[in-house]
Structure 1
Amino acid sequence: MYLASNPQRLCSVKEVSEYHDISRNHLVKIVLRLVEAGYVSSFKGKGGGMQLAKPSNEIQLGDVIKLLEPNMTMVECFDPATNTCRITGSCNVKHYLYEASQSFIETMNKHTLEDAISTQ
């Protein structure tokens, strides 16, 4: 959202982390994933920084959420590798939760990054 609000210039990780009061190291990891996925372009060196790689009206929010939260592990049984739930075999709630998580992504994909930023 910060990059979408500042489309006319390159922004630094330091600037964004300070503005949002979040860990710089954590933000570096997020930016790397966004760069790899083609949402953000980054430029090294003096005068470098980052900016959106495509217009904010072409970036669907649900797709970004899926990228950054690929498992959407709402409950333990969503991860077979670590699941120790004793009722997994007879529980249908996991199906409803999975359906709800898919609906969440679909709903978020009705909106773009441009929709999410205030133009005031």
Structure 2
Amino acid sequence: MKLTTHTDYALRLLIYLAVRDDQMPATVQAAATHYGISTHHLAKVAQTLVQLGYVASLRGRGGGLRLQRPAEEIGIGALVRQTENLELLECFGPESTCPIEPGCRLKGVLAKAQQAFLAVLDGYVLADLVENRQQLRVLLGHSA
């Protein structure tokens, strides 16, 4: 299963926010610069994360982004479920027009594989991804 760029950037932004030791909120511009990615696209991702309750957006001078909840409470599997379209094939949706769907076993095999993929992700929280916080700070250009 390939994750979308939206989910990739969501995970990157959460990691960026989790490793910061600065008390000031982070900006989308700074995060995008550190990763070398589109500020415009990352701003859309940040908006999604705010809507989902993972990130708080602070307005005004000194505003920016910060984690809304502790990294220990941000489940990776839950995030992927909320940011991905998990309909692997047309037959996973309600509007399937596949003529062999009633007898097809592929859907069941793919559903089982997807469940295994998500079960592994469910075993991790954001805090697990940033246990090497100091190394990530250096790689992202933050002071160690």
Give the TM-score of the pair, scaled to structure 2: 0.72
Instruction: Give the % identical residues.
Output: 36
1:110 aligns with 2:123: yes
Counterpart of 2:19 in structure 1: which amino acid?
Answer: S
Q: Which runs of 5+ in 2 are unaligned?
A: 1-14, 135-144
The correspondence of residues 1-120 of structure 1 with structure 2, limited to 5 A, is 1-9=15-23, 10-69=25-84, 71-81=85-95, 83-117=96-130, 118-120=132-134
Separation of aligned partners in 2, 1:7 and 1:103: 35
Q: Which runs of 5+ in 1 are unaligned?
A: none
Match of 2:102, SS?
Answer: coil
Give the TM-score of the pair, scaled to structure 1: 0.85
Contact 1:62 1:105 in 2 (8 A): yes
- CA RMSD, aligned part only? 1.8
Deviations 1:16-44 (A, max 9, x none): 11222222222122211211121101111
Greater share of helix: 2
Match of 2:88, SS?
Answer: coil
Contact 1:61 1:113 in 2 (8 A): yes
Counterpart of 2:86 in structure 1: which amino acid?
Answer: M
